[in-house]
C-alpha cells in the first residue's frame, strides 16, 4: 500500500518521564533516519530489524536537541501493520513537540484524528468490536476537533487567512478567466501585481509560522533549565519563582544533586522549571550523574536561566557555562546584587541574549526576571488577540501554503508560463482552504463568473 507517512505524539500530554513520537507508513525509516542518529556509528536506522531498539540522538536541521531510544517495527508486525518507528524522547511537551516538528520537516505528515487506529484496522490488525469502539471515539473526537478548529479559527487568524484566501482566489479567478476565455477582453494580470500579492501572502504566512513558536510558549509553556555553578543561587531562584521552599537551599556546595521539576507561572508564561545540580568537577559519582543531567537539560531547554555569583570573580566553570549558552535561548542572571560586585558582566554578555542583575533573595527581582524572559521568548510581542496558528495541523497547512506560494514566485522568476504558476496557486489555496474549510476549486470558479463578463 502506497501512502503517506504520519507522525504524532503517542503518549498522553503533560509531564512524564518519557514521551513517544510514533511514525507509521512506508517512509517511516527514511524519516527516522533524518531525525535520529544512532550513538553506535556502526548501526544504521535503515539496517534496523523489527523488534529492535537503538540508542542515539534526536536532531533537527543538524542540531541535536535530545537523546533517547528508537524502537523499530517492520510491516506487517506493528500496531498499524505498516513500517513503524517509535521515538522515545525525554518527557515534557516541548521536546516531543519539537521532535514531531523535526519529523514533519523530514517528510512526515501530521496524523489525523484516529489515523493510527484506522490504518491498523485497514491492515487487519484490529477486531470488529475494537473497530466499532474506535469509530465512536473518532466520531466524538472529530466533532470536538472540528469544534476546536472552528473556535481557533473564529478570531483574528480566521480573518487574516480569509483575507489572504480571498485575495488569492481573486487572482486565481482572474488568471482562470484570462485563460479560459481568451477571446473576451479580460485584461492580462499585471505580473508586478501578481508578484506583490503572492509575496505579501507568503510573508504574512512567514510571520504566522514564526509566531507559532511564541504562541505555543504562551499556550503550552516552556521547559526552563536553571543552571550555574554551585551556590550561585539557583535554588534560591527556584524558590523565588515557585514562592515556597521547593529545593533544598544550604550554603554547602553541591546539595542539589538531581533535576528538580516544578511548574510556575511567570507572568503570562508557564515555566516548567528544572533546577539542576551545580556545575563543577566532582569525584562523587552521584553528583557527577546530576551534573551530566544538568548539561543535557541545558541542551534541550526552551529557556535557560544561567545564574552567576556577582560577588565572585568569573570562574572557569562560569566561562564553560557561558560558552555552552551561546546561541541558545539563554538569560544570564548576575545574582547577589546586594553584595559588592566583582564579576564583570561584559565578559559573558556576548554569549547571552540578555544579561540582568538580580538578587534572588528579594521578591522585587521577580518582575525583572519576568520582563527579561518575556522579551527573550518574544511573548511580549505576541498580541493574544492577534492571529496565531494553533496546533500542528494549522502549522502544517500554513507551511504548505507558504511553500506553494514561494514555488509560484520562483516559477515567475524562472519565466515559466502562468499555467505552472496557477497550479502552485491551486496548492496554496487548497492549503488555506484546509484552514478555513472551503473547497478551493469551486471558490475560484464562482468568482470567475461573479467578477468577469465572459462567455459567448
Partner 1 sequence: MIQLGEYDVIVIGAGHAGIEAAHAAAVLGAKTAVFTMSLDAVGNMPCNPSIGGTAKGTLVREVDALGGLMGLAADATYLQSRMLNRGKGPAVHALRVQTDRKRYHMYMKHALERTPGLAIHQAEITDILVEQGRVAGVVTQLHGVYKAKCVVIATGTNLGGKIFVGDAWYASGPDGMHASTALTESLKAAGLPLRRFKTGTPARVHRRSIDFDKLERQPGDPDDQLQPFSFMTDAPMHNRVECWVAYTNPETHKIILDNIHRSPLYGGMIEGVGPRYCPSIEDKVVRFAGKDRHPLFVEPCGEDTEEMYLQGASSSLPEDVQNAFYHSIRGFEHLEIMRPAYAIEYDCVDPTSLEPTLESKIVRGLYGAGQFNGTSGYEEAAAQGLLAGLNAARNALGLSQLVLPRQSSYLGTLVDDLVTKGVMDPYRMMTSRSEYRLTLRQDNADQRLTPIGREYGLVGEDRWEKYQHTQALLEAERRRLQESHLKTEPLREAMVAAGLTPAQQGGVAAELLRRPEISYPLVAGIIGWGEGITPLLAERLETEIKYAGYIARQDRMIHEVARQEKTLIPADFDYQGLTGLTLEAREKLAQIRPRNLGQAGRVPGVSPSDIAQLSIALAAARAQQAKKEESPRD
Q: What's the rounded Cα separation, in Å, for the pair 332 and 353?
A: 8
Query: Other C-beta atoms within 10 Å of 111: how many?
Result: 24
In the complex with partner 1, the residue whose CB is nearer, 257 or 400, is 400
Among 63, 180, 313, 383, binds partner 1 (CB under 8 A): 180
Q: Is 80 annotated as a binding residue?
A: no
Would you count residue 83 as binding partner 1 (CB under 8 A)?
A: no
Question: Which residues ranging from 99 to 118 are in contact with partner 1 (CB under 8 A)?
Answer: 112-115, 118
| Stretch 425-444: interaction string toward partner 1, x if CB under 8 A | -x------------x-x--x
> 96, 99, 82: which is closest to 34 by C-alpha?
99
Stretch that binds partner 1, among 43-51, 201-209, 309-317, 422-430 (CB under 8 A): 422-430
Q: Is 233 annotated as a binding residue?
A: yes
Sheet holding 330-335, edge to edge: 260-266, 269-275, 222-228, 303-309, 330-335, 354-357
In the complex with partner 1, the residue whose CB is nearer, 174 or 297, is 174
Backbone φ, ψ for residue 450 (5° rounding): -75, -35
Instruction: Classify the phi-psi angles of 162: left when phi > 0, otherwise alpha if psi is within -120 to 50, otherwise beta.
Output: alpha
In the complex with partner 1, the residue whose CB is nearer, 128 or 346, is 128
Would you count residue 453 as binding partner 1 (CB under 8 A)?
A: yes
Would you count residue 332 as binding partner 1 (CB under 8 A)?
A: no
In the complex with partner 1, the residue whose CB is nearer, 42 or 456, is 456
Hunting for cell 548501526 — which residue is that?
Answer: 43
Q: Is 434 annotated as a binding residue?
A: no
Q: What's the rounded Cα separation, in Å, for the pair 234 and 274?
A: 10
Grid cell of 71 as nine digits: 524502537
Q: What letter does residue 253 receive in the DSSP assignment?
A: T
Grid cell of 72 as nine digits: 523499530
Would you count residue 150 as binding partner 1 (CB under 8 A)?
A: no
Would you count residue 349 as binding partner 1 (CB under 8 A)?
A: no
Q: Are 238 and 260 contacting, i.e. CB atoms less than 8 angstroms apart?
A: yes
Q: Which residues pair with 228 in a beta bridge?
A: 307
Residue-by-residue DSSP string for 441-456: HHHHHHHHHHH-----
Hunting for cell 522585587 — which residue is that?
Answer: 364
Q: How far is the CB of 138 from partner 1 (least distance, A)?
A: 6
In the complex with partner 1, the residue whose CB is nearer, 94 or 421, is 421
Q: How far is the CB of 396 from partner 1 (least distance, A)?
A: 14
Q: How far is the CB of 349 from partner 1 (least distance, A)?
A: 47
Among 142, 155, 243, 341, binds partner 1 (CB under 8 A): 142
> 279, 269, 3: which is closest to 122 by C-alpha?
3
SS3 53: strand
Annotated binding-site members for K(+): 231, 250, 252, 255
Rule CB under 8 A: which residues touch partner 1?
A: 1-4, 112-115, 118, 121-122, 124, 128, 131-132, 134-136, 138-139, 142-143, 145-146, 172, 176, 178-185, 414-420, 422-424, 426, 439, 441, 444-445, 448-449, 453-456
Amino acid at each position: 500500500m502506497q501512502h503517506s507517512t504520519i507522525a504524532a505524539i503517542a503518549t498522553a500530554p503533560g509531564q512524564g518521564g518519557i514521551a513517544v513520537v510514533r511514525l507509521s507508513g512506508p517512509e517511516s525509516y527514511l524519516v527516522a533516519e533524518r531525525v535520529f542518529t544512532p550513538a553506535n556509528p556502526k548501526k544504521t536506522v535503515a539496517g534496523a530489524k523489527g523488534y529492535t531498539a537503538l540508542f542515539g540522538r534526536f536532531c533537527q536541521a543538524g542540531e541535536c536537541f535530545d537523546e533517547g531510544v528508537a524502537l523499530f517495527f517492520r510491516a506487517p508486525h506493528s500496531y498499524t501493520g505498516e513500517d513503524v518507528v517509535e521515538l522515545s524522547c525525554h518527557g515534557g511537551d516541548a521536546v516531543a513537540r519539537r521532535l514531531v516538528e523535526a519529523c514533519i520537516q523530514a517528510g512526515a505528515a501530521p496524523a489525523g484524528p484516529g489515523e493510527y487506529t484506522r490504518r491498523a484496522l485497514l491492515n487487519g490488525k484490529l477486531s470488529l468490536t475494537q473497530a466499532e469502539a474506535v469509530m465512536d471515539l473518532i466520531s466524538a473526537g472529530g466533532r470536538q476537533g472540528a469544534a476546536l478548529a472552528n473556535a481557533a479559527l473564529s478570531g483574528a487568524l480566521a480573518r487574516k487567512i480569509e483575507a489572504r484566501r480571498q485575495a488569492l482566489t481573486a487572482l486565481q479567478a482572474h488568471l482562470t478567466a484570462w485563460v479560459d476565455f481568451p477571446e473576451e477582453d479580460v485584461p492580462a494580470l499585471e505580473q508586478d501585481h501578481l508578484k506583490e500579492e503572492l509575496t505579501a501572502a507568503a510573508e504574512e504566512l512567514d510571520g504566522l509560522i514564526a509566531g507559532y513558536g511564541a504562541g505555543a510558549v504562551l499556550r503550552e509553556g516552556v521547559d526552563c533549565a536553571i543552571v550555574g555553578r554551585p551556590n550561585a543561587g539557583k535554588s534560591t531562584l527556584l524558590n523565588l519563582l515557585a514562592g515556597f521552599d521547593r529545593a533544598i537551599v544550604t550554603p554547602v556546595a553541591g546539595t542539589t544533586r538531581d533535576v528538580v521539576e516544578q511548574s510556575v507561572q511567570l507572568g503570562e508564561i508557564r515555566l516548567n522549571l528544572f533546577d539542576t545540580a551545580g556545575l563543577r568537577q566532582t569525584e562523587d559519582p552521584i553528583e557527577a550523574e546530576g551534573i551530566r543531567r544538568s548539561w543535557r537539560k541545558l541542551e534541550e531547554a526552551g529557556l535557560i536561566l544561567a545564574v552567576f555569583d556577582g560577588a565572585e570573580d568569573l570562574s572557569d566553570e562560569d566561562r564553560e557555562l557561558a560558552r555552552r549558552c551561546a546561541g541558545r535561548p539563554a538569560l544570564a542572571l548576575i545574582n547577589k546584587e546586594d553584595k559588592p560586585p566583582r564579576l564583570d558582566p561584559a565578559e559573558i554578555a556576548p554569549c547571552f541574549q540578555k544579561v540582568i542583575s538580580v538578587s534572588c533573595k528579594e521578591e522585587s527581582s521577580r518582575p525583572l526576571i519576568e520582563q527579561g524572559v518575556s522579551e527573550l521568548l518574544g511573548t511580549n510581542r505576541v498580541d493574544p488577540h492577534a492571529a496565531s496558528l494553533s496546533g500542528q495541523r494549522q502549522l502544517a497547512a500554513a507551511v504548505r501554503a507558504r511553500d506553494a506560494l514561494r514555488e509560484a514566485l520562483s516559477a515567475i522568476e524562472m519565466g515559466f508560463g502562468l499555467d505552472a504558476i496557477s497550479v502552485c496557486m491551486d496548492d496554496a489555496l487548497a492549503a488555506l482552504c484546509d484552514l478555513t474549510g472551503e473547497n478551493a476549486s469551486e471558490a475560484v470558479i464562482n468568482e470567475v463568473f461573479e467578477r468577469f463578463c465572459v462567455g459567448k
